[in-house]
A and B are shown apart, each in its own frame.
Chain A
C-alpha cells in the first residue's frame, strides 16, 4: 500500500472503531434499540479487502455486523447512526435498524440477519453483473459460522459452476455467537472447505491490513479478470460479544488480551510511526478529531432527526401503487 493510502486508512479505521464504541455507549443509554453487533478488532478485514476493491463500484453484501462495511462503501456515518436511532433520516429510513443498513447508491446491498442468507444473494448479484456485462464484482463478507449453513455449499457450487464474479470473504473470528469454532465446526480453516468446489482459496492474517490488502488484491484481480469466484479467509477476532446481550462467558479474558496485542489499528499506527509517516501526537489528534466529528455531527444529526411518521407505517412494503397500476389492474397501455 502507498503511504498516503495507509495514512488515510488509519484515519478511517479510527473512525470505524470510535463509531462502534459510540454505538455501544448509545445502546447503554437506550438511544439504540434491538440487537447491536459491533466490529472492533476486525477493522483490517473490511478495510484491507475494500482497499483492493473499488468501493462504490463493486457490490458489497454482508451479515448483521454491517455498520463498518456500509461506511467503507461510502455510506454517510450520520445516516448509519441515524438508522440505529431509528430515525427517518437513517440509511433505511428507520425501517431496518442496525442489522439492515443499506446504501444502494453506494452499492452497499445490505446487511442481513439470517446467518448465511447473503451467500446466494451475492451470487445472484454476480449473476446480474455477468448478464449485464459490467466490470464490477460482488463481494460477500460473512463470518466463519455462516459456513455451516446449507446455502454456503449450495452457493459455492453454483458460483463455481457458472463462473460468477463473486469474492467470498470469510472473516473467521473463531466464534459463532457463543460457540467456539472448535466446538461447532469440524474444519477450523475454512478455506479448506471450498476446495471441494474447485474454487481457489487463500487464508491470511486478518489483523495486519497490509497483509490483508496483498492477499485481497490477488483475490479481487482473479475475480475481476473473469476467472470465477474466489474465497478469502481472514483470521481475526471480535473484541466485544456477539451482540450486546453477550457477557463472553464462553472465552477467557486472557485470550482476549492476547488478541488485543495484535490490534489492527495499533499494528498500522506503529508501522507508520516507525516509518516516520506520522507521530504519536498526530495519531492522538486523529482520535480527538474523530471523536469530535462523531459527537458534533454524527450524534447531533441522529439526535435531532425526526422519527418516521406513523402514517407511513405501511410505506415500502410494496412498490408505490401508482407506478404498478397497469399490472395490478390489467389495464396496460
Chain B
C-alpha cells in the first residue's frame, strides 16, 4: 500500500533513525493542522515507494516532537531536510513539486 514505507520518526529515535542511518534520509516536518503538509503527503508516500532500499523517507509530527524542529531552526512547515551521514545536505520549505524532491534525493545517492 502506498505510504507504508514512510518511517515516522520522533524526538527520541531521531538520532538512531536519521543521524545514524547508512542511507540518505529525507525528513518531512509536518503537522495535522497544516494544509500544504497534507497536500504533499501523497508525494512523500510515492517517494518512499520509489526510493525503497536506496533512501529512507521519514516524517516527523512537529506537535508531538518539538525538540528536533527547534534544533534545526524549523519555523515553517512543510520543511523537508535531506540528511546524509548525519549531516544536513539540503533544506526546502513549502509544498514543493515531486520532481524537485526526486532530484534532491538522487543527487545524494
Partners in one complex: no
Which residues of A are in contact with B by a Cβ distance under 8 Å? none
